[in-house]
Structure 1
Amino acid sequence: MVQQVQEVAQTGDNSGQDLVLSHVTKRFSDFVAVDDLSLTIPAGSFFALLGPSGCGKTTTLRMVAGLEQPSSGTISIGGRDVTSLPSHQREVNTVFQSYALFPHMSILDNVSFGLKRRRVRNPDAMAKEALEMVELGHLAARKPVQLSGGQQQRVALARALVNRPAVLLLDEPLGALDMKLRRQMQVELKAIQTDVGLTFIHVTHDQEEAMTMADTVAVMNKGRVEQMGDPRELYELPRTAFVANFLGKSNLMRGPITEDLGDAVAVDVSGVRVVLPKSRSAAHAGSAVVGVRPEKMRILDIDDAAYSPTANQLVGRVVDASFTGIITEYIVDVPGVGMVGTFSQNLGQRPAAPGERVRLLWEPEFSFGLPGDEEPAEGTDAV
């Protein structure tokens, strides 16, 4: 199958076709949708633009596709400035959430349509190879209405790949699928991208989707990139409250830095001494917003014999306990801090009940520190 993929997608060398956005801004009247955005996306990478509705990710994708014109800035592919080129003159194809298949055409004709319009030789043979690549060759004679949502999504992907683009744009392509099929397609899309070696740019608001598939994730907010990196780096060491809250769940607590411990600092969080490594903190003096992911915490009964004194401990009362099968999610009201969330694996222990007093413990190396002026609620529904 890899050989077929390379024949379909790599005839014509697209190596070295880095996508570069330089100081790109897009205004709609008085509204700035994309604000001075600069990105370099290496050829052959799987890149995700992640963010909430209205953050500018889809507008960015449309400018790369040539469907919107930047108000300022430039876009280049492989060193060629394409800023002013219409979409059909760019080495770019887009897979939309709606799939946009022609209902009256067969699956084979849908995939070969663009090739025939461009008078490419052997369009049906190339289309058949593309369908084999997405494992739908046996359905070439069917109409779109006869296929499932996941199959239609694969047809749309084959139709885009058969045109041998330098960059493939994916605009929320899995949004219409149910959860089980979406997870399956995430794995398949990543496998196809790895096989063909093309640049995939995936726009999504789904954090799990971006982290599952992308080599690099850019988290967008208010027209700008808040932070960019590999998924593990963004999750384990967010640099802003927005990234910490949008990419998963975080407990964020503000306090003054009271001690310099050499390679660590101590923060006073409502009378509780919280220690974190300097290498994981953006602030080493003044104040900081300390963060810890819920799954990094342990929850213990207030009188648990396994408890041993530690700097990073909070005491509070359970407000809610939600059993989800694999884990139980607790919400604990900690005086002076507020509501703190933690997850506990269901390993047969007695669960804590609402109203019980408990301890929340975590190791210093699981903490991360944000600048003290960060708003802890940024990126949550509370803002």
Structure 2
Amino acid sequence: MSASTPEAGADLELRGIRKTFPGFTALHDLDLVIPAGSFFALLGPSGCGKTTTLRIVAGLERPTAGSISIGGKDVTSVPPHKRPVNTVFQSYALFPHMTVQENVEFGLRRRKVTDAASRALDALKLVELDHVAGRKPSQMSGGQQQRVALARAIVNRPALLLLDEPLGALDLKLRRQMQSELKTIQDEVGITFLHVTHDQEEAMTMADTVAVMNHGRIEQMGAPQELYELPRTGFVASFLGQSNLIAGAVESAAGGTLVARTAAGGTLRMPIERAVSTSGTITVGVRPEKLMLASEAPTTDDNVLGPGRITDLSFTGVSTQYTVEMPGIGSIGVFEQNMVFGSVFAVGSEVWVRWRPEHTFGLDADAQAGAAEAIADSEDA
């Protein structure tokens, strides 16, 4: 099975999809195009609309308005079993009385496919489980059972594979292993993958494109690196990783550089194309790992805040995470890579924070409200 075969993948198009339930709207006129053969992730907190979107694509929910097409064919009114779609759920839903191979063959035999056994073995080889084809699911680990569920979905050669929080039941080590394996399998078979998750690391590790959803709408969509390095809303900046967000007022925007003045009286610079707003009150953002601490006022062209005082630190192995209280600004998070044994600075130390202007991004004035919502949602997930 290769990406050039009709089964290998198909464009998925959602046009004006709206879904209303009594008392609320789950999806607001959603437009989305997922190219054939891509690994696409819908990322967001519980209740954002991502699972409703997946169920509409699968045919398990009917949209209130809008249309769905797969491979150029309108499937809005097509029942689930007639769509070229298979779904892998968080619960593996394997038949306990059947062997691994029988589980994978099940759908093929119901459709009276003549080479069901050989196709099932091919699918098991793809997930590296052909050597345990005769075992029962109870004799396998959680990661192996998830791969069996994946093989059972792939063996039907769908144009589109839907993944509904498929790794949520696995422990951290297995989850990371399966992230890599899923991406490798998707590359090999070329099927279009639509992956629904609330796990930021999972989405960024596997997907070619990530759409961050909030309240039934897509807040931002793009490559994982693009979303992380250049978020366009406070929600994205704080749901996809952590960000320091500082209130500022635009002082100038000329010559390709935007200059914003903070409440503490200092100025911060950024490339003007990295700012959503270029006048009035804005929110200046920077990721904590972009920051560096100094014990004396830096004399560089970097953005500088300080002096402030370290109020907390935690050693995480790869980095030490500091909280610095800045007068007039608030708490600033700094993640410094551990290059020496032990922490460089202690709680109570007076420090300055500096970073390169090109690592700065500019958001709307209300970005901090969206960030607070994202942080609350991340804690609830």
TM-score with structure 1 length normalisation?
0.94
User: Could you say which residue in structure 1 is the equivalent of 2:98?
Assistant: 105
Q: Distance in 2 between matches of 1:29 and 1:161?
A: 36
User: Could you say which residue in structure 2 is the equivalent of 1:295?
Assistant: 289
SS, match of residue 374 in structure 2: coil
Q: String of CA shifts for 1:306-348, please: whole Å, max 9, x gaps.
A: x325462112111110001110001111111111101011111
Which residue of the other structure, out of 305, 320, 341, is the alignment partner of 1:314? 305
Q: Distance in 2 between matches of 1:87 and 1:269?
A: 55
Any gaps of 5 or more consecutive residues in structure 2?
none
Q: Distance in 1 between matches of 2:177 and 2:146?
A: 12
Conserved? CA contact 1:17–1:42, under 8 Å: yes
Q: Distance in 2 between matches of 1:157 and 1:15?
A: 15
Q: Distance in 2 between matches of 1:11 and 1:99?
A: 29
User: Could you say which residue in structure 2 is the equivalent of 1:280?
Assistant: 274
Any gaps of 5 or more consecutive residues in structure 1?
none
User: Could you say which residue in structure 2 is the equivalent of 1:175?
Assistant: 168
- How well do the aligned residues superpose, as a CA RMSD in angstroms? 1.6
Q: Distance in 2 between matches of 1:12 and 1:357?
A: 63
Conserved? CA contact 2:37–2:193, under 8 Å: yes
**What one-letter code is carried by the residue in structure 2 that aligns with 1:265?**
L
User: Could you say which residue in structure 1 is the equivalent of 2:376?
Assistant: 381
Q: Distance in 2 between matches of 1:368 and 1:378?
A: 19
Aligned positions of 1:45-84 closer than 5 A:
45-84=38-77
TM-score with structure 2 length normalisation?
0.95
Aligned positions of 1:118-157 closer than 5 A:
118-157=111-150
**What one-letter code is carried by the residue in structure 1 that aligns with 2:276?**
A
CA 1:297 to 1:263, structure 2 compared with 1: closer, same or farther past 3 Å? same
Q: Distance in 2 between matches of 1:95 and 1:185?
A: 13
Q: Distance in 2 between matches of 1:263 and 1:28?
A: 47
User: Could you say which residue in structure 2 is the equivalent of 1:332?
Assistant: 324
Q: Report percent identity of matched pairs.
A: 59
**What one-letter code is carried by the residue in structure 2 that aligns with 1:295?**
E
User: Could you say which residue in structure 2 is the equivalent of 1:345?
Assistant: 337
Aligned positions of 1:238-249 closer than 5 A:
238-249=231-242
**What one-letter code is carried by the residue in structure 1 that aligns with 2:322?**
Y
Q: Distance in 1 between matches of 2:86 and 2:103?
A: 15
Q: Distance in 1 between matches of 2:192 and 2:253?
A: 45
User: Could you say which residue in structure 1 is the equivalent of 2:7?
Assistant: 14
**What one-letter code is carried by the residue in structure 2 that aligns with 1:124?**
A
Q: Distance in 2 between matches of 1:248 and 1:46?
A: 21
User: Could you say which residue in structure 2 is the equivalent of 1:23?
Assistant: 16
Q: Is 1:95 the equivalent of 2:95?
A: no
1:276 CA displacement: 0.8
SS, match of residue 265 in structure 1: strand
Aligned positions of 1:176-195 closer than 5 A:
176-195=169-188
User: Could you say which residue in structure 2 is the equivalent of 1:364?
Assistant: 357
SS, match of residue 377 in structure 1: helix
1:23 CA displacement: 0.6
Q: Distance in 2 between matches of 1:109 and 1:382?
A: 41
Q: Distance in 1 between matches of 2:253 and 2:224?
A: 30
User: Could you say which residue in structure 2 is the equivalent of 1:158?
Assistant: 151
Conserved? CA contact 1:273–1:311, under 8 Å: no
Report runs of 4+ in structure 1 exceeding 4 Å deviation.
Answer: none
SS, match of residue 168 in structure 1: strand
Aligned length: 373
Q: Distance in 2 between matches of 1:151 and 1:382?
A: 31
1:377 CA displacement: 2.8
Q: String of CA shifts for 1:62-121, please: whole Å, max 9, x gaps.
A: 110111111111111011111111110000000000111011111011000000001111
Conserved? CA contact 2:9–2:159, under 8 Å: no
